[in-house]
Structure formats: structure tokens, C-alpha cells
Amino acid sequence: MSNTPLIFWLVPVASLIALGFAWHFFRSMMKESEGTPRMKEIAAHVRKGAMAYLRQQYRVVAIVFLILVLFFAFLAYGLGVQNPWVPFAFLTGGLFSGLAGFIGMRTATFASARTAHAASQSLNKGLKVAFRSGAVMGLVVVGLGLLDISVWYLILNHFIDATGTQKLMIITTTMLTFGMGASTQALFARVGGGIYTKAADVGADLVGKVEAGIPEDDPRNPATIADNVGDNVGDVAGMGADLYESYCGSILATAALGAAAFASSGMQMQAVLAPMLIAAVGILLSVIGIFLVRTKEGATMKQLLGALGIGVNVSSVLIAICTFGILYVLQIDNWLGISFSVIVGLLAGIIIGQSTEYYTSHSYKPTQKIAKSSETGPATVIISGIGMGMISTAIPVITIAVAIILAFLCAINFDVQHMISAENISKGLYGIGIAAVGMLSTLGITLATDAYGPIADNAGGNAEMSGLDPDVRKRTDALDALGNTTAATGKGFAIGSAALTALALLASYIEEVKIGMQHIGETTLQLADGTTKAIADANILDMMDYFQVTLMNPNVLVGAFIGAMMAFLFCGLTMNAVGRAAQSMVEEVRRQFREIKGILEGKATPDYARCVAISTKGAQREMLFPSIIAIVVPILVGFIFGVAGVMGLLIGSLSAGFVLAVFMANSGGAWDNAKKFIEEGNFGGKGSDNHKATVVGDTVGDPFKDTSGPSLNILIKLMSMVSIVVAGLTVSMHLL
Amino acid sequence: MSNTPLIFWLVPVASLIALGFAWHFFRSMMKESEGTPRMKEIAAHVRKGAMAYLRQQYRVVAIVFLILVLFFAFLAYGLGVQNPWVPFAFLTGGLFSGLAGFIGMRTATFASARTAHAASQSLNKGLKVAFRSGAVMGLVVVGLGLLDISVWYLILNHFIDATGTQKLMIITTTMLTFGMGASTQALFARVGGGIYTKAADVGADLVGKVEAGIPEDDPRNPATIADNVGDNVGDVAGMGADLYESYCGSILATAALGAAAFASSGMQMQAVLAPMLIAAVGILLSVIGIFLVRTKEGATMKQLLGALGIGVNVSSVLIAICTFGILYVLQIDNWLGISFSVIVGLLAGIIIGQSTEYYTSHSYKPTQKIAKSSETGPATVIISGIGMGMISTAIPVITIAVAIILAFLCAINFDVQHMISAENISKGLYGIGIAAVGMLSTLGITLATDAYGPIADNAGGNAEMSGLDPDVRKRTDALDALGNTTAATGKGFAIGSAALTALALLASYIEEVKIGMQHIGETTLQLADGTTKAIADANILDMMDYFQVTLMNPNVLVGAFIGAMMAFLFCGLTMNAVGRAAQSMVEEVRRQFREIKGILEGKATPDYARCVAISTKGAQREMLFPSIIAIVVPILVGFIFGVAGVMGLLIGSLSAGFVLAVFMANSGGAWDNAKKFIEEGNFGGKGSDNHKATVVGDTVGDPFKDTSGPSLNILIKLMSMVSIVVAGLTVSMHLL
């Protein structure tokens, strides 16, 4: 390990600090009281349901992992087209991602009753308990992410038998494959959790609210526990696994790009370290930000938002400043330009978050217009919600487009004349990668504000079901409303970071193809002009030339069509899955209302467990097919259409999938808040026909914003990851 | 004109034959009786409304054309970056496209009462009048298309001062720009007509059917005339202009590709003639097919479909056979392989049509499942309809993907080893273009089956409003139901042909860039390997190399993101436009019900004209913004990101737009038929809660399938056309 620079050790140290604070926040949350026996009982129900679900999900995922590990082992040891470390890297990625989701969710299920109880003392206390419990998730995700990266770096550095740039490239591209483990785990968490939570939610709402006319979270509703479980398994565990994957993916992809881009200037080690160090410093600053979040009694929504905002903003400003310091200390070529690439990423994340808030909050016109369209019934609510959601894709796309170009240009010192030269293109793509790292550098705290949402939501449910004082419920409602806003911006942030990460992965796919070709014993490339070049010396443009990845290659065109279709197909499958699973839930709730006497009078206890079981079973059954095609299609496309086809596939799924994801998340969020706007007394208020029309919108929006939309984030990353892992296979055999 | 081969004259002759038969069908339709005075009166109302609308629309379009012609004149005569013929070619394209829509629509408005009257005699008579009136439209579109092509070919051949391949290339690329005129006209027709028809339809349904509980087409509904006008301006004029554009675009793009691809073998003239001759023979065979359509009294739906099917199928089989003959006679290189490319296109069109029928007809499971989901209310109808629509994109995309690859491979004689060589890539792309020509070769008759739909629909409306015998209404209903099915398959066909045409346009964009570079005085290309090449000798791969159109160029990536976003933004804008326009209609109908006493008892006549005026005004106001961004964005992207950015934009909008268009058309069609399925007595039948839930689905589906979805066909073609026309500007000035 003599060749590991001293400064590298900051990375494992930061990861341990994150895990230490996570432990500290967890312990101090656990010391709070869980409140009355009834509160404890309800929390225990939810916890039990959530754990039962996760256990079941991990069982299914374990089988999928077993099959994939065997497949990768066959590629590595049987066909010899893959690095022998890959099956192990893949496994640990899955393991750590699952662990992060598990810890986050377990914390959340412990925190809800405690938040409700703390809120009965003061708003600030409630906010603190909920937010710091959310911070456990944020810190565990970044802590485990950097830990996995550090350990693998040290292991591979010790064992891999190569030197210099070649060694660094093998290390970084091998590490990248653990991203696929994380990605696969995340896919199941998001899809399974998303189906679970919305089947329960839609089922509970359709029968409970619409048919029986009882309020949200009413203990008489048999699906209410399942609904609360859903918040934990979908929004906490799913979101955690998703961002764990973006976090690691962006750092590793950037490192892999850096190893190649800075080889000629001898700065490859600095370029590999830079994303890791930015992430490490980001962790420390996130912890500082977390400590800054506090509020006072009777705070308005704006003040509550401000309380969270201070934490996030301070962390963001500090990381922006520190980035210059880190890159200066590393003495990397063009450190100033690259620092600005990082800032570009940070800013893009903030703008996308703001635009999400504008389009989905009922403080602004778009959502108010959807509420107004309820005057002509549910059909116009749907039409205007879909129209608005589609229009709302413009700002995020333009933001990402500008960020891509600016991050690229900053990293090449605005050498516009030679933008696509062999030297500049690698460095520019590195700039795009490090912009993704910048966007995610404050993940410790941004994820805390996100995971906080479902905790506050569950606290409200707990307060309602255990019949706490209306004043307490009012406080938990305030905390919950705050959570809805942070959830919307969090979703924008998750999508934006997924897009930049996927781009970085797309670029590092080329590096992986290069390594794959060398691995199967190829040494030279035959270029279009008839000359040959050693693969080891080939740059990205040579690779594009060799594989003819131009837009006029029909393989690229076909790949792009299939990629765009994949985004829609995947969404359609998950939408229908929610529909079917919700249908079973509706039938079960109707059956209980019919068969269990006295249930609606509150004289008999509903069979909560059975609803939990139905959601669990539905989610497990339904998540398998969409997940499998997400893994199989990139392999098939590679096998038929080769590298050019795969790149077409990835760009098609990335561009269409990003836009589709933003559309679905924003339409869903806006419908939710249009309904809330009416509930606050506008356009006829609660119970009016207008309200009923927006309830239809909200119900349609549920799978939009919590199942299909967020699952797309993973789809676009997972397809890149799968392509990266099977790159060796693709280059050694394909039909066209 | 001595260098014009004799066989070329078949093209203008076929076009005149088409126009002759169109005139014949029109005259014989006009000889039929329009029925009772009441029938005449209603038909006159609709005709007047439709003409008023078209007049208004052409006025707006004229202003846009004036501005664009001035802009192109400035490019051609001011900056000198464009061919001096372009402004004129642009103008005739717009003129002929508008003329085709106008004639088709005028015929349709004359035919509806006559169809209703003929149906009172026999079903076969009704079918014959409606179908042959539809055939007027089909034949006018193909006839005017080939006429425009013939005349321009002869003019340019006479005036252009060059020789050999160079001359043919200038001729074909110049002609291509008249496609932009057609495209611009089509965009306004589709978007304006689409907004008009759905504002009227949604408005009529929401107040008439849902609030007042009166049936469809009831004369007491003030919006009912506007609704019938809408069928004509949206479905007839819009569809006609759309397919006119695909038809000319595919022929011209293929000709332009052929001039370049076959230059080295000296076969460029044959390659330019081939698509024109296939189209010419297709016209003659379409006329034969039209004469074969007849049915007998009391025919079932299946028999009616069979009656139309015979006409279409005979034409298709004959054109497949004749293609081999045409290409053999031309003695073009690899005539057998290219013939198979044509067959691939024909087959792809049929498969996409079949898959559309499967996903949207209530004879099959998908639509029945949507109907069943009404048991849990409107929200689940929407969720399952969206889910199903997204899933239904898989077959058309896979079909197009396979068609692209097969058409390419057939045209290069399955030389898979050298698939992307300089020689093969041009020929392969020519194969893709000629597949589009094959798909559209029977347009004369397929468009007839399409334009037939709204005529039958209006005939039903006329029968209802003039209080004809219920037996007659039953016959017109049978004709209308048939029209719904042909409309769905027609939409699939329109989208599929738009995708292939856009691909051919994308490929010919490169040729246009080459011509543009020579036009501004550039003579050599500096390639990546440091060598230079004369532009005149450059092949497609050299151009890709020079402009660095690889997937790792950030300009391409950014272009792809913006392209995908454009499809969604455009849809969102048109969805919202329908929502707003329908809103004004709802308010007007409510006002009339309130203020005009005795209207609901049938004692007072509603103010139909005012509803017509509101739809007209709404459509005009709303169509401008989405149309303008469709024209401006490609120019802007070219100006900022250059040729690579434009190609990224086109591939992004094409892939995402195609999938989005299929999704919207299929979801909309399925909702419509799910409602009809319930109206036939399933799941509770008419008037049940389930029925109401599917009415919500149908209303949401209206703008999906008749406004936003079909407008996307034009968007993807128009953006390519705009890029082609401003290619000279793009190469001479751009920022990055």
C-alpha cells in the first residue's frame, strides 16, 4: 500500500465519521420515549409489517443475485471475458445498498412514534427527532458508500498485478461493477417498495376515503397499517438504495474517467482521488449542516422550510468553497476549471429542485390551475395535470443540458476551438462526471431532509390512530406538510443526479470496453483510415471510430428506439402492477368491511396483517418481470447489435427516461397538492365535487410519483451498469 | 429535358390518373341526393363551420409562411447560404398540402348527408358513398404529391447549371425543401384541427352528456355542430396534410439518398427514379383496390372490415409483386435486395396497424381489462389505460427496429461484415428510405379507409340530428364503428410511416449539409486523421467524422436531451391548449342552457354558430406557440451546437417522439373503446357508475389520440425538415 497517497485516508476516515454520527443520532433517538402503550402498539405493527416485507424482498433479491453471480462467475472464470473480481464486487455493492436501506428503514420505524410523542411536547422537539432520524439514513448511505469504495480500493490496489495508469484503470473499472450490485438492489427496492406503498395507499384511499368516507389514517381502515408500512419500504428504503447507487456510481465513474483522461499528464492518481475527496469533505460538511437544523414553536411553513434550508445551504456553500481547496491541494491540471465543474453540478441540483417546487407546490400557479380545472370534473383534472407535467420537463432538461456543456467546457478551460480533440474529450467528460459528484456531495444532509418526510408522515398516522390530542396532530401535520415539499424537491434532485451519473457511466462504458478488449487478448484497433493503434493507447475518439458509434450507424439508431421504448415499457409495467396490486387490496378491504361486523363503528379490530400480507405478496409478484427485462435487454442488445447498439440504447433510455421521470414525478406531485389546495378551502373545499375530482387526480398521481417515476431513475442507471459489467461479453460476441 | 428518361413520365401520368379518378369519385358522390331539407340544413351548417375554420386557419398560416419565405429569401439572396430555389419550393409544398386538405375536407362535408341518405337505402350504398368520398382525399393527396414532385423535377432539371451526380444531388436536395412547406402546413392543420375538434368534443360531452344527460349528436346540444365540424377539420384535413407530407418526404429523401449512394456505380438516375416509380405504380394499384370495396346488407363488423381489407390487401400484394418488376426494369444494382427493403416497409406498416388494433379494439383483452378497471372508479381506468398504452409501445418499436435493420441489410445484400463501410452505409440508408416509400406506396387506398371514418361519423350525426329512422341510424352506427377501427390502424400507420420518413430525412440531412458547405464555398474537409478530402467526394462516414457526430460528443448528448424534451413539451402545450379551449366551450354551452329558454325541451334552437366561433378562435390562438417552437428550436440548436447538436436533437425527438406518439394514440383509442364496450352492455352497461368512469377515460383520451399524439408525427418530421432547410446557415455559423 506504499503507493497509496496519505490524503486518500481521509476517505475511509470520513466514512467512519459518518457512520459514527449515524450511530450517535440513532442512539439519541432511541432514548426518547415512544409514548403511550397504544402508540407503541401501532409502531410495533408498522415495524413488524415493514420488516416482514423487507425479509420477503431480500429473499427474492437473494435468488436474483445468486443467479447473476453465477452468470458473472461464468463470464469471468468460464469464458474469461470478465475480470475475476467482478462477482465479488457485484455482491458487496448489493449487500451494502441493502444494508443502507435496511438501517434507514429500521430507524424510521423506530422514530415515528417517538416523533409523535416529541411533537406533543413542542414543534421543535418533533422536528429534531424526525430530522435526526432521517439523518441516520443520509449518513449511513454516504458512510457505507465511501466505506465500500475505500475497502475495495485498498484490496484491489494490493492484489492487482499491473503498474501505473493501467493498474489504476483496472482498479477503477473493476470497482465500477460493484455499482451494478447496488443498482440491482436499488431497482428491487424502488420497484417493489413503490408497488407496495401505492397498492396500499390507493387501496386504502379508494375504499376507505371514497367509499366508506372515513378520514386518512383512520384505525378502522384495514389497509391503514399497510399504508404506513408502505411509506417506510417505498420512500425510505427505496430512496436510500436509489441514492446510494447514484452516489457510488458517480464517484466511481468519475474516477474511471479520470484515470484515463489524466494519464498523459501523469496526474491520474489525483484525478481518481478528486471525486472521493470531494465526497469525503461533503460528508463532514453535511454533519455540520445537520446540527444547524432547528425551529421554534408555532413556526409557519415558510419558517420550517427555512430551518431545513439553512442546514442544506450552509453545507452547499461550504462544499463549494472547499472544492477549490481540495483541487488546489491535489495540484491537478486546470484545478480552477474543474472546481467550477463541481459548482455547476451543485447549482444544477438546486435549480432542478426549485423548479420541481414551483411546478408541484400549491403556492404557485401551475398547481392552482390544476385545482381550478376540477370545476369541470376529473377528466379535465387529469388532462391539465398531464399537460402541466409535460411542460414542466423543459426547465430540468435545459438545466441539465446547460450543466453538461458548462461542466465540459470548464474542465477543458473553455478551449472551444478543440472541444472534441482526443485530449479534451476525456477531460470534458471527466468534468461532467465530477459535476455529478458535486451535485451529490451534500447527499448526507439532502437525503436527511428526504427521509425525514415519511417519518413525519408516519408520526401523523401514529398520532391519529392512537387518538392523541388534536393539537399534537396539528403539529405532526405541519411536519408532514414540510415533508411533502422536501419529498418533491428530493425527487427532482434524485432524477437530476441520476441523469448526470448515467452520463458519466455512459462515458466510462468506453473505458470498460477497452479493458474488456484487452482482457480477451486483443491488442490493436483497426481504425477507419486503415491505420492500427495499440488499444492501450486508444483514446475515446479512437474507440468511437473503431466501433463506428456515429448517429448514422443503424445499430445506434435501433438502440436509441429500443432505449426510449424501454423507459415507457418499464413505466407501463409498473403502473399496471400498482393497478393490479391495488385491486386485490380494494377487494380485501371491501371484504373486511362486509364480513367483520362492527368494524366501521370502531367496535372490532380490522385484520391489519392480512392487508400487509397482500401488499407484500403483490409487490413481490409484480416487481420481478419489469426488473428482469431491465437487466436482460441491455445484454440482448449488446449481443445482437454490439457496442454501437448498446450506446444507442443507453442514450435513448437516458434521454427519454429522464424526461419521462420528471414528467411523472411532477404531474403526481402537482395532483397531490392540488387536492390539498382544495382541502384548504379553495374551490369548494373538502367534500365538494371539485374535491372528489382532485382525489381522482391524486390517486392517478400516486403510482406516477412514487412508483413508475422514481423507478426510472434506477432503470437509466442500471441499464448502463449492466452494459458496463457485460462489456467484455459484448465485445467478444455479437451478431451485427 | 433530353436527359429525362422516358420511364420518368409514368410519374406525372400516374399523378394525373389519381387526380382524374378523384374528380370522378367526387362527381359521382355529388350526384347522390342529400336527403331531406333538414339533412341539407345540418350539412350546410357543418360545411359552413368547417370552411369558416379553414379560411381562418389559412389566414394565420399565410402570415407564418410570409415570414418564413422572407427568412429563406434572406438566407438565399442575403447571406448566400441557401439555394435560390428554396423559397419557391417551400411555398409550393405548403400550397399543395393545404390544397389537398381543403379538397379532402370539402368533399367530406358534401358527403356526410349523402352517406346518411344512401344508408337509408342500403348498407352497401352507404359504405360505397362514404368510402369513395374518402378515396377522393386519398387520391388527391397522392396525386398532388407526385404532381408537385414531377413539376419541380422538370423545372430544376431544366434550370440547374451542373452535370451528372452533382446536378442530381442539387435537384433532389432542393426538392426536399418543399417538404418543409408541406410540413409547416401540416403542423398547423394537425395542431389547429386537433385542438378544434377536441375542444368541441370535450366541451359537448362534458356539459351535454355528463351534466345534461342528453345523447351524443343531440340537436339540443349547442356544441354538436362544432363537434361535427371538428371531425372534418381535425381528422380529414389534418390527417391529409400529415400524410401528404410523409408521402412526399419519404420519396424525396430517398431520391436524395439515392443520388449520393449510387453515384460510384453510375446508377444515380435509376436510384432517384425508383421511389417515384414505386409510388406511381402504387397509385394505379390503389385505384384498383378502391373499386374492390363493396359489402352486402346486414354485414357484420367482421364482414365490413373484410370488405375494406380486400381493397387494401389486394393493393398491397400487387405493389409487392410490381416492385420486383420496377426495380428489375430499372436494372439498378442489387435490385432484388432493394425490392425486399420495400417489402419490409410494407410489412412493417401492416404489423404496426395490427398491433394498434389489438391494443385498442374491445374485441381483445387489453381494452377489456381497462373496461373492467372501471369497477374501482375513474382513477383506476386512467391508471390502467396509461399503463396499457405504455406497454403497447413495445411491438411497434420492435417492428420499426427490425424494419430498419432488415431494410438496411437487404439493400446491402446482407454484407454484415462491412455493414458500416463508406459504400454500404449510403446504400443501407437508401434501403431504409425506400422501405418508407414501400410503406406509403398504397397510401391512395389506406388514406381512403382513414378519411372514410369521419365521413361515416358525420353521417351518423346528420342522421341523429335530422331524426331519421332508427334503422338508418343503426346502419350509420355500423359504418361509424368500422371507421373507429380503421382510424386506429390508420393512426398506427401514420406514426410508423412518420418514423421511417424522419429517419430517411435524418440521413438526407447529411447530404444537405454537404450541399450547403459547397454552396458557401467550402471545398475540402479536414478529417480526424489529419488528411483532407474534397467535399464533393466525401461520403456519409467522412461527414460524421468531420462533424464528430459520435455519441460521446457533448453537443450530441445535449441535443438528444433537448429532442426528447421537445416531444413532451409539445404534447404538454397541446394538451393544455385543448383543456383551455374546452373550458371556454363548456362555459358557453352552460350559458346557453341557462339563458336560452326551452333549449333542453327542444323548443328553442341553440346558437350553434357561436360554439363554432369559439372553437375556431380557441384553436387559432392556441396553435401558434407550440407550432412556433417546433420551427424555432431546431434553428436555435443548430446555431448553438452545430451539426452534431442538430443530429442529436433529431434522434432524441424521433426516438422519444415516436414512442410517446404510439403511447398516446393507443391509450386514447383504448379508452374510447373501453367506454363503447361498456355501452354494449358489459360491466353494468350505459348509465352505470362503471360507464361514467370510462367516460372520464374517454374524455382524457380525446386529446391524447386526436391532438397531441398525431401532432407528434408532424413534429418529428418538421424538425428534420427545418434542419434540412437551414443546414446552410448551420454550417456557416454556430457557436460550439
Per-residue pLDDT of B286-311, as tens digits, reads 999 999 988 887 777 788 888 888 99
Name the residue among B416, B540, B586 with its Cβ closest to that of A736: B416
* AA identity, residue A417: Q
Give me the pLDDT at residue B565, please: 98
Give me the pLDDT at residue B1, please: 42
- How far is residue B254's CA from residue A70's CA, in Å, rounded to a whole number? 49
User: What are the tens digits of pLDDT across the range B546-580?
Assistant: 999 999 999 999 999 999 999 999 999 999 999 88
H/E segment holding residue A114: helix A86-119
Name the residue among B383, B578, B735 with its Cβ closest to that of A579: B383
Per the CB < 8 Å rule, is A383 touching B548? no
Per the CB < 8 Å rule, is B562 touching A377? no
* Mean of pLDDT values over A156-184: 88
Closest C-alpha to B7, from B251, B248, B269: B269
- How far is residue A568's CA from residue A562's CA, in Å, rounded to a whole number? 10
Q: How many CB atoms lie within 10 A of CB B262?
A: 24
Q: What residues contact A493, with CB distance under 8 A and at least 6 apart?
A: A349, A352, A353, A439, A446
Query: Measured between beta carbons, which residues in chain A are less than 8 angstroms from residue B700?
Result: 379, 382-383, 386
Closest Cα in chain A, distance from residue B583 (Å): 8
Provide ipTM, 2 decimals.
0.96
A vs B, Cβ pairs < 8 A, gives 300
pLDDT above 60 for A2: no
The single residue listed with the C-alpha cell 438516375 is B269
Q: What percent of chain B has pLDDT over 90?
A: 65
pLDDT category of residue B117 using cuts at 50, 70 and 90: very high
* Mean of pLDDT values over B434-439: 96
Closest Cα in chain A, distance from residue B255 (Å): 17
- How far is residue A634's CA from residue A721's CA, in Å, rounded to a whole number? 9
A558 part of contact set with chain B, CB < 8 Å: yes
Q: Tell me which of A239 and A388 has the higher pLDDT.
A: A388
Q: How, if at all, do strands A532-534 and B532-534 pair?
A: unpaired
- Give me the residues paired with residue B534 across strands: B524
Q: How many CB atoms lie within 10 A of CB A526?
A: 11
H/E segment holding residue A462: helix A443-465
- How far is residue A40's CA from residue A186's CA, in Å, rounded to a whole number? 30
Is the Cβ–Cβ distance between A91 and A181 less than 8 Å?
A: yes
Q: pTM of the prediction?
A: 0.96
Closest Cα in chain A, distance from residue B277 (Å): 26
B210 part of contact set with chain A, CB < 8 Å: yes
Coil, strand or helix: which one is B525? strand
pLDDT category of residue B235 using cuts at 50, 70 and 90: confident
Tally of residues, chain A: 736
- How far is residue A305's CA from residue B673's CA, in Å, rounded to a whole number? 47
* Mean of pLDDT values over A329-357: 94
- How far is residue B674's CA from residue B496's CA, in Å, rounded to a whole number? 24
Interface of A with B in 620-659 (CB under 8 A): 647-648, 651-652, 654-656, 658-659
pLDDT above 60 for A559: yes
Q: Tell me which of B294 and B283 has the higher pLDDT.
A: B283
- How far is residue B638's CA from residue B723's CA, in Å, rounded to a whole number? 8
Name the residue among B384, B552, B558 with its Cβ closest to that of A405: B558
Query: Measured between beta carbons, which residues in chain A are less than 8 angstroms from residue B194?
Result: none
Per the CB < 8 Å rule, is B206 touching A558? no
The single residue listed with the C-alpha cell 373484410 is B306
Cell of B626: 407550440
User: What are the tens digits of pLDDT across the range B612-660?
Assistant: 999 998 898 888 999 999 999 999 999 999 999 999 999 999 999 999 9
Per the CB < 8 Å rule, is A565 touching B398? yes
B548 part of contact set with chain A, CB < 8 Å: yes
Per the CB < 8 Å rule, is B658 touching A564? yes
Residue A526 phi/psi, 5-degree rounding, is -95, 115
Q: What residues contact A89, with CB distance under 8 A and at least 6 apart?
A: A152, A174, A175, A177, A178, A181
A393 part of contact set with chain B, CB < 8 Å: yes
Q: What residues contact A325, with CB distance under 8 A and at least 6 apart?
A: none
Closest C-alpha to A385, from A669, A610, A63: A669
Q: What percent of chain B has pLDDT over 70?
A: 100
- Give me the residues paired with residue B532 across strands: B526
Is the Cβ–Cβ distance between A222 and A610 less than 8 Å?
A: yes
Per the CB < 8 Å rule, is B390 touching A564? no
Rounded mean pLDDT of chain A?
92
Closest Cα in chain A, distance from residue B398 (Å): 7
- How far is residue B682's CA from residue B725's CA, in Å, rounded to a whole number? 53
| Per-domain residue ranges of chain A | 6-526+535-732
Closest Cα in chain B, distance from residue A653 (Å): 9
- How far is residue B353's CA from residue B396's CA, in Å, rounded to a whole number? 9
Q: What residues contact B521, with CB distance under 8 A and at least 6 apart?
A: none
Helix residue spans in A466-539 (DSSP H): 470-519
Q: Which of A95-99, B537-541, B660-664: highest mean pLDDT?
A: B660-664
- How far is residue A443's CA from residue A435's CA, in Å, rounded to a whole number? 14
Give me the pLDDT at residue A1, please: 42
Closest-CA residue of chain A to B694:
A379
- Give me the residues paired with residue A525 across strands: A533
* AA identity, residue B614: I
